[in-house]
Structure 1
Amino acid sequence: MFLTNQDVIELTAWRRKLHAMPEISSEEIATAAEVQGFLADTKPDRVVSGLGGTGVAVIYDSGLPGPTVLFRAELDALPIEEIGTPDHRSKIPGKGHMCGHDGHMTMLAALGRQFGRERPKRGRVILLFQPAEETGAGAAAVIADEKFQQLAPDYSFSLHNMPGLPLGHAWLKDGIVNCASRGLKIVLSGRTAHASMPETGISPVPAVAALMPALTALSQGSIATGDMVLATLTHASVGEPAFGIAPGHAEVWVTLRTMTDGQMQALTTKAEHLVREVAAAGGLGYAMDYHDIFGHCENHAEAAALLRAAMEAEGISHEAGETMRGSEDFGRFATVSKSAMFFLGAGENMPNLHNPNYDFPDDLIPIGTKIFMRLARDILG
């Protein structure tokens, strides 16, 4: 069983509807409601809403013993103004589906249509529409939710579209798929002074000047050698925008990125030591906190092998690919199940993810769907 031409037409229209109504992380109330409404006709055996905030799990149960297989898509869009001109472009100023999560949701909805017509022969399928992937908060919130703990998946699978790869060509590898990352916000506190008498204050300027090169100097290694450590300055500010005030306050933001969670622990220790050392030398107070925390994403060997077999059965060309520098919170599902994710080519000449003119290619909907459908049938019959 597979999608009919009418299914593809209706799913494509729905994907474009989602594209026009983007909601950013943790605000996906209308999107979650739209998912539930669209899949209502498939008569799922159970729907769990409010997972980790706005998440939705749609469940198709055979009624017979067997594994529980979870497929995850993301609900959230980005705080990016869309500059593309499709008829279905974003209607929400300053927000857009510039990462293709609208397409990922549509693939899961396509699975829902098929399992609505014919349940798996054993076990159950969970379609999870997860909130807040872009901030790294969503998967952790879902997994911590008591309602999710009752679902207990044995396997979890996900995909991400990837511009730059030929349309429909896949990257699937064992081991580490995405790097760990987190944003470190550093606040330095001194004392303001009149600009004519800066010596009467305590300025954070020398500390900022020292911190910026010192933090970036923590970078070393590479993906190829498995020891990449990367510190990227993303923001810095000093004082108020006034000519009469010598500054007493500064902020430095840096994104820390490593291949593994263990490497991240070592990097944060070094960065925090550096901040304390520089602040003390300048007589400054300091505060540090972390944002957008992502653990590394690692494919389970068995789950990846099942995915690989499904691709081969469906004639999908694939290769191992490489570990992605970008982060993905799907890795947290490895703590509760055998999990794997892959990257599906969106076309070699597509705008990159998070570009303001990105638009998910509708031709990927049936391709991603048939991989997941074959996988589910291989495991559950």
Structure 2
Amino acid sequence: MPLTELIKLRHDLHENPEIAGQETHTAERILGFIDKLKPDHIIQNLGGTGLAFIFEGKKPGPRLLFRAELDALPIHETGKPSYKSKLSGKAHLCGHDGHMVIICGLAEKLAAQRPENGEVVLLFQPAEETGEGAKRILEDPNYDRIQPDYAFALHNLPGFPLHQVVVRQDTFAAGSVGLTISLTGKTSHAAHPDAGINPAAAIAQMIQVLPKLTEKVRSFTLVTVIHAELGSLAFGTSAGKGSLSLTIRAFDQDDLDRLKTLITKEAESISKSEKLECNFSFVESFAVSKNDPHAAEIAKGAFKELGLDQIEKEEPFRWSEDFGLFSQSCPSYLFGLGSGESCPQLHEPSYDFPDELIETGVRIFEGIVRKVNG
């Protein structure tokens, strides 16, 4: 199928974005495209709206998995492509539309020439942006049918030259988790705050103390205060409830877990000293994306054969990717593909995936398949 058809598919996906957990029509569009290529097996409703397509070789061999993401973002698009999002407040501003189409292009290559041995699984994962999709996929009973020997994924990267491959040994992207600390005291009249228990002092103390707990962890960690709430706008009332929300990041999974423990213990201590009830809610949990050395060797061999420019990044990216959870369950490799030095950054309202990357991504993934599966 000509490249123009893949570009047309991306533009169609871009016009009709669906956010995490709502990717029903997106999955149907992908199913309609790949079903015509006659994969050997199709698994639907994997981890929710997820899809897996299996292409089998003639002989036994390794099973490779290539992952793309189905979901868009709940952000209003301000760019003006001819295929701009038709849905207000929803847009493909991270490039998942492009990632999906690259995997669809790989499906075309596999349909034209099946692997000699083993199996290739093309996985379309829901809810990447919220850190929920990978967990749902891995916990789905049907995942046993596609448990791979190696898993691969790419992410386009604005700020790097178009088509440049960005690689990292070991950790590629940070793990992160959102934490909301809910505090309950006692509401009272503002004229008699001593008759109540106001969480204000505890919240103020936590804002100062919790981010500094990174000093007790050996590698890079970061605690960012993202939201605080106290009582309501009632000038006659001293607040009895409040909350503080943080994002916790680390380049090492053990350090991320340790920092979570340090923060909850310190928050409990502060709450106790202020006579407050304290509860914790963790959301949007992303595991550290850690690259396997053997998977890296396979991928780098494909990069070299294609003559692609490569750059080794000095430190991991601080943002997180849900692919990290796959890296904890099997040997995995995540790499970046430059989308242009002047390309708007990911999640910016004016961002748009460069169509020029589609062919490059397909060639890389096909190169990996041919090196392993023939």
Name the TM-score, length of structure 2 as normaliser. Answer: 0.97
**Where does 1:1-381 land on structure 2 (aligned, <5 Å)?**
7-220=2-215, 227-321=219-313, 322-381=315-374
In structure 2, relative to structure 1, the CA distance for the partners of 1:52 and 1:93 (3 Å cut) is same
After alignment, is 301-310 or 132-141 more displaced?
Answer: 132-141
Moved over 4 A (4+): none
Give me the whole-angstrom Cα distance separating, in 2, the residues matched to 1:181 and 1:293: 6
After alignment, is 361-370 or 318-327 more displaced?
Answer: 318-327
| Percentage of identical aligned residues | 40
Report deviation, 1:207. 0.8
Contact 1:158–1:342, Cα closer than 8 Å, also in 2: yes
What secondary structure sits across from 2:90 in the alignment? coil
Contact 1:165–1:346, Cα closer than 8 Å, also in 2: yes
Contact 2:72–2:96, Cα closer than 8 Å, also in 1: yes
Contact 1:16–1:88, Cα closer than 8 Å, also in 2: yes
Report deviation, 1:27. 1.4
Q: Structure 2 counterpart of 1:27, which letter?
A: Q
Contact 1:203–1:246, Cα closer than 8 Å, also in 2: yes
What secondary structure sits across from 1:347 in the alignment? coil
Report deviation, 1:194. 2.0
In structure 2, relative to structure 1, the CA distance for the partners of 1:336 and 1:261 (3 Å cut) is closer
Report deviation, 1:320. 1.6
Report deviation, 1:197. 2.4
What secondary structure sits across from 1:218 in the alignment? helix
What secondary structure sits across from 1:66 in the alignment? strand
Residue 3 of structure 1 aligns with which residue?
A: none
After alignment, is 308-317 or 273-282 more displaced?
Answer: 273-282
Contact 2:214–2:259, Cα closer than 8 Å, also in 1: no
Deviations 1:227-281 (A, max 9, x none): 1111000110100122222111101000111111110121111101111111111
Structure 1, unaligned stretches of length 5 or more? 1-5
Report deviation, 1:336. 3.4
Give me the whole-angstrom Cα distance separating, in 1, the residues matched to 2:328 and 2:262: 27
Q: Structure 1 counterpart of 2:9, which letter?
A: W
Contact 1:26–1:132, Cα closer than 8 Å, also in 2: yes
Report deviation, 1:221. 9.1
Name the TM-score, length of structure 1 as normaliser. Answer: 0.95
Give me the whole-angstrom Cα distance separating, in 1, the residues matched to 2:344 and 2:146: 37
Report deviation, 1:220. 4.1
